[in-house]
Structure 1
Amino acid sequence: MKLNESSAVSTTRALLVPYESRHVPTYHQWMEDPAIQEATASEPLTLEEEYENQQSWRSSHDKLTFIICQPVTDNSAPSVHAGQVDSPEKMIGDVNLFLYPNDDEEEQADDRFQCIGEVDIMIASHGHRGKGLGRTVVSGFLQYISRNLEEILHEYYAGEREQAGTATNSSKPRLRMLMAKINKDNSKSIALFKSLGFEQEGDVNYFGELKLVLRDLGAYATANVPEGYAELVYERED
């Protein structure tokens, strides 16, 4: 998405920055790990293909991506500087939101366009796993989504209408729910999302995944503001 191209999200334990071309070499190294490929259901790509993906994700109306980095020491500054706070040794992983239309007609409460958001997270740095960082990151990400939901849905809906070749109407789109699809054997990720208020819906699917859902993002975000949460300007050098 273009929405977060100049935005960073800071908490006491992590900094989220927009996915830039400068991050691609490190991201490519992460994705060469067979274990990460399996965990993310990803196929290995060439470095050139990773650069193409990064550009595609930046302009995509249905994918919001942040790179997870080590926290900044001074959270009171209004901005952070690209290349300093997100150098390769400070990169930890990524967190994403995927949006797609709600096709379940039985769940349509009104005539508004409805969509579903899928959240996923990858802690690629082995040294940062098993320390509760994932929970902090997803909590901060959910807070960002909640506070910027109107703009997120506007960009998504406009993109959907453009792809369909139709004019945007005046009705406001609605996020029906957030969900996470997690391999049934990934007990740590399942526990992470359940600790954030996601609830299991249905049984294990054909692909061996559990579906966990969060239906009231606003209530969650109001009650769970991460320590030190701040939205900062992500400044690039001219």
Structure 2
Amino acid sequence: MKINENIAISTPRVLLVPYEHSHVLKYHGWMQDPSIQEATASEPLTLEEEYENQESWRTSPDKLTFIVCQPLPSASPDSSHVVAGEVDSPVHMIGDINFFINPSEEEDKEGLYEGEVDIMIAEPAYRGKGVGKEAVSAFLWWIIRHSEGITDEYSRETEEGGRGMDLIMARIKKENEGSIRLFQSLGFEQVGDVNYFGEIKLVLRKELFRTFGEAGADRGFREVKYRRATQHS
């Protein structure tokens, strides 16, 4: 998606930035790890294929991604922008977080959309410390605030005549107890049993969107400009 191409999300514990060409080499290195491949149900790609994937993420109307980075220095919490290549160099990269949008699978909800979120904290030093929860919280805060723009872009590019987003889900391997607890702590509830792929489906219902979307400001979540070297204020 293009809606986030010039946006970063800053929180006290993480910074989320658009997935850029400059991130691919580090990302490709992460994805060579067999444990990450298993956790993300991914097949190893060549570096060239990884660059092609990055371009696809930027232009495809049904998916959106941010790279999870270390937070901004405490000395600059109120900056209105961040500079590409400084705050998101390879040494600052932690993982990624993704969003997918598709028409609802339920027959009685024709014209409504379902979102899906997944997250990967690739750097072991940042696992189990609440970084993933902070990233998901900020990501959902932003998704919910921009849900109309996201569904409009999807509808425009796919010619689907949608009426908005009905729910947001996460599909998680049943063995990944930490990730399951993370999403449950944010209000996601399990729906159904373990599927053929060994995953459970957790759902955040639309009734919780507003409360969730309003909570971000109190937690120091901010949307800032993501400025590349060729851009000006």
Please state if 1:135 is matched with 2:121: no
Q: How many equivalent residue pairs?
A: 226
Q: Determine the C-alpha separation between the residues in 2 that align with 1:101 and 1:120.
A: 18
Q: Determine the C-alpha separation between the residues in 1 that align with 2:222 and 2:105.
A: 35
Equivalent in the alignment of 2:101: 99
Q: Determine the C-alpha separation between the residues in 1 that align with 2:4 and 2:147.
A: 12
The amino acid across from 1:103 in the alignment is: E
Q: Determine the C-alpha separation between the residues in 1 that align with 2:99 and 2:218.
A: 18
Please state if 1:222 is matched with 2:220: no
Deviation at 1:225, TM superposition (A): 4.5
Where structure 2 has 5 or more consecutive residues not aligned to the other structure, the ranges are: none
Q: Determine the C-alpha separation between the residues in 2 that align with 1:226 and 1:116.
A: 27
Q: Determine the C-alpha separation between the residues in 1 that align with 2:199 and 2:142.
A: 26
Deviation at 1:205, TM superposition (A): 1.1
Q: Determine the C-alpha separation between the residues in 2 that align with 1:144 and 1:59.
A: 19
Shift in alpha-carbon separation, 1:61–1:226, aligned structure 2, 3 A: farther
Where structure 1 has 5 or more consecutive residues not aligned to the other structure, the ranges are: 162-167
Deviation at 1:147, TM superposition (A): 1.1
Equivalent in the alignment of 1:39: 39
Please state if 1:213 is matched with 2:203: yes
Deviation at 1:23, TM superposition (A): 0.2
Shift in alpha-carbon separation, 1:43–1:190, aligned structure 2, 3 A: same
Q: Determine the C-alpha separation between the residues in 2 that align with 1:105 and 1:237.
A: 48
The 8 Å contact of residues 140 and 226 in structure 1, kept in 2 or not, is answered as no
SS at match of 1:178: strand
Equivalent in the alignment of 2:228: 236
The 8 Å contact of residues 147 and 164 in structure 2, kept in 1 or not, is answered as no
Q: Determine the C-alpha separation between the residues in 1 that align with 2:92 and 2:176.
A: 26
The 8 Å contact of residues 138 and 216 in structure 2, kept in 1 or not, is answered as no
Deviation at 1:114, TM superposition (A): 1.1
SS at match of 1:100: strand
Q: Which of residues 110, 124, 127 in structure 2 aligns to 1:126?
A: 124
Q: Percent identity?
A: 55
Q: Determine the C-alpha separation between the residues in 2 that align with 1:37 and 1:226.
A: 36
Residues 7-156 of structure 1 mapped to structure 2, 5 A cutoff: 7-73=7-73, 74-108=76-110, 113-156=111-154
Q: Deviations over 1:114-154 (max 9, x none)?
A: 11100000000011001011110000000100111111111
The 8 Å contact of residues 18 and 67 in structure 2, kept in 1 or not, is answered as yes
Deviation at 1:226, TM superposition (A): 6.1
Q: Determine the C-alpha separation between the residues in 1 that align with 2:220 and 2:105.
A: 38
Shift in alpha-carbon separation, 1:177–1:93, aligned structure 2, 3 A: same
The amino acid across from 1:46 in the alignment is: T
SS at match of 2:55: helix
TM-score, length-normalised on structure 2? 0.94
Q: Determine the C-alpha separation between the residues in 1 that align with 2:215 and 2:86.
A: 33
Q: Determine the C-alpha separation between the residues in 2 that align with 1:222 and 1:24.
A: 33
Q: Deviations over 1:191-234 (max 9, x none)?
A: 00000000011111111111000012222222454622110000
The 8 Å contact of residues 139 and 196 in structure 1, kept in 2 or not, is answered as yes
Q: Determine the C-alpha separation between the residues in 1 that align with 2:112 and 2:219.
A: 31
CA-atom RMSD in angstroms:
1.3
Q: Deviations over 1:68-123 (max 9, x none)?
A: 00000212010000000000000000001001111321344xxxx21110000000
Q: Determine the C-alpha separation between the residues in 2 that align with 1:228 and 1:75.
A: 9
